[in-house]
Amino acid sequence: MRHSIRIAVGPVQFRIGSDWAEPIAALGRLYAGYPQDDARPAEATVRLFAARPWRRWLRASVHIGGDFVVPDALPLPLSMGLLAAEMGMNLQVALGWRRHMLLHASAVAKDGRAVVLSGESGSGKSTLAALLGEGDWRLMGDEFTLIDPEGGDAFAFPRAVSLKNEAIAEVVARVDPARLGPLLAGTPKGDIRHLIPRPGAIAAMHEPARPALLLFPRFGGETAIEPMGEGEAFVRLTEASTNYVALGEAGFAALTRLVRETPAFGISYPDSATGIALVEQLWAGTAP
């Protein structure tokens, strides 16, 4: 491939190849502060490609490929090449990673212990994590949290945070503009802007944290906290994991231990400030 870049996020080493220079350049700027290790082989491959040679220039549209592909997926215009790269990276990890149990969850850590926020797109997990990460928490990741099947620790996957729609303004108001990627307006997921995690979070990306609080956030609606039983938490987390089934008994053991050892709550909140307050309140209740 004509243009390429190698990026390490948490334990995953990516190589990303592209028929165009622009997405690679954009990735280079977002991930400039991440550790580079040229001696480390890549275990995940992403390809951004043109379906036909002339589609590199004529109505350039970016197809997402790599080790794993989604058949019949629609391409994106070149202006959203960065989004295509992000989706490609997510896909390879979601479908191919086997070293840890993968949860669709954000996570932040303090003093070696972690809050894990599990939810779908729109649940608010990414925004809450990003805002907590701008306070006195270490951001571990906004999209995926990795759980070590053997020891039970949570590991970070601190990619560039994907802020969507209203969350963009909230975060932009609080951070140095140098930490923000370009505005991608009108994508299939709405407006998107990437936030580079703080240097401390990037530097600590290999440090584990012990899960101490499990939250299932729901943005919008009355403020509420609902304790969640082990059984329900187990079911919801199997739905939130892309590789639970592939891990066999190790996955079963890891998830059983996680729900037995970690208090779980559903929370709903009308705005970020309330959401953060709920997290802090429940965190105080888990004091060791």
Partner 1 sequence: MSAVQTFVDLLAGRRDPAALAPIDWDGVIGVARSEAMLATLAHQLAEADVPPAVAALFADQRAAAAVAQRQALWEAEMARRALAPAGIEFVLLKGAAYAAADMACSAGRQIGDLDILVLASDIRRAENDLLKAGWEWVKSDPYDDAYYREHMHELPPLIHKTRDRMIDVHHTILPRTHRITPDALALMSDAVTSGSDYTVLNAADMACHCAAHLLADGDLQGGLRNLWDFHTMTRDFAAADPAYWGELDGRATLHGLQDAVHRAARLSRDLYGATLPTAWDRPDSTDGWFRRRLLARDDWGRVTDPLLEQAFYIRSHWLRMPPAMLAKHLWTKWRKR
Partner 2 sequence: MTDRAYRAAPPGTLRIEPLGELTAIFDRRSMQTHLVVSPMPEILDAIGSDACSAATLASRLAATFDLGDGDVQPILAERLSELAAMGLVERA
Which partner in partner 2, partner 1, none is near 286 (CB below 5 to 8 A by kind)? none
Q: Is 245 in the site for partner 2 (CB under 8 A)?
A: yes
**Interatomic CA distance for residues 135 and 6, integer angstroms:** 30
- Residue 258 Cα to chain centre, angstroms: 20
Q: What is the DSSP letter of 40?
A: S
**Interatomic CA distance for residues 196 and 176, integer angstroms:** 10
**270 token code pair:** 């009308």
Q: Which is nearer to partner 1, 11 or 152 (CB)?
A: 11
Size of the site for partner 1 (CB under 8 A): 21
How many CB atoms are located within 10 Å of the residue 120 CB? 10
Which partner in partner 1, partner 2, none is near 274 (CB below 5 to 8 A by kind)? none
**Interatomic CA distance for residues 55 and 78, integer angstroms:** 10
Shortest separation between residue 248's beta carbon and partner 2, angstroms:
5
- Own/partner long-range contacts of 274-281 (Cβ < 8 Å, ≥24 apart): 274/223, 275/124, 275/128, 275/217, 275/219, 276/128, 276/131, 276/132, 276/135, 278/223, 278/225, 279/115, 279/117, 279/128, 279/132, 279/213, 279/215, 281/225
**Interatomic CA distance for residues 125 and 217, integer angstroms:** 7
Shortest separation between residue 156's beta carbon and partner 1, angstroms:
17
Which partner in partner 1, partner 2, none is near 234 (CB below 5 to 8 A by kind)? partner 2
Of the candidates 73, 49, 84, the one whose C-alpha atom is nearest the C-alpha of residue 187 is 84
Site for partner 1 in 52-81 (CB under 8 A): 65, 67
Q: Is 173 in the site for partner 1 (CB under 8 A)?
A: no
Which partner in partner 2, partner 1, none is near 45 (CB below 5 to 8 A by kind)? partner 1
Tell me the C-alpha to C-alpha distance, in Å, between residue 184 and each of 83, 159, 173, 191, 194: 8, 17, 18, 6, 9
Among 45, 118, 145, 241, binds partner 1 (CB under 8 A): 45
Site for partner 2 in 214-243 (CB under 8 A): 229-232, 234-235, 238
Which residues in 19-37 are b (16+ Cβ under 10 Å) and which e? Answer: bbebbbebbeebbeebeee
How many CB atoms are located within 10 Å of the residue 231 CB? 9
Contact characters 25-44, partner 1, x per CB under 8 A: -------------xxxxxx-
Among 1, 70, 183, 273, binds partner 1 (CB under 8 A): 1
Q: Is 48 in the site for partner 1 (CB under 8 A)?
A: no
Q: Which is nearer to partner 2, 174 or 260 (CB)?
A: 260
Q: What is the DSSP letter of 92?
A: H
Q: Which is nearer to partner 1, 21 or 273 (CB)?
A: 21
Shortest separation between residue 251's beta carbon and partner 1, angstroms:
9
Which partner in partner 1, partner 2, none is near 259 (CB below 5 to 8 A by kind)? partner 2
Which partner in partner 1, partner 2, none is near 230 (CB below 5 to 8 A by kind)? partner 2
Q: Which helix (H) or strand (E) holds 162?
A: strand 161-164
Binding site for partner 1 (CB under 8 A): 1, 13, 15, 17, 38-43, 45, 47, 65, 67, 96, 98-99, 246-248, 250
Binding site for partner 2 (CB under 8 A): 229-232, 234-235, 238, 244-245, 248-249, 252, 256, 259-260
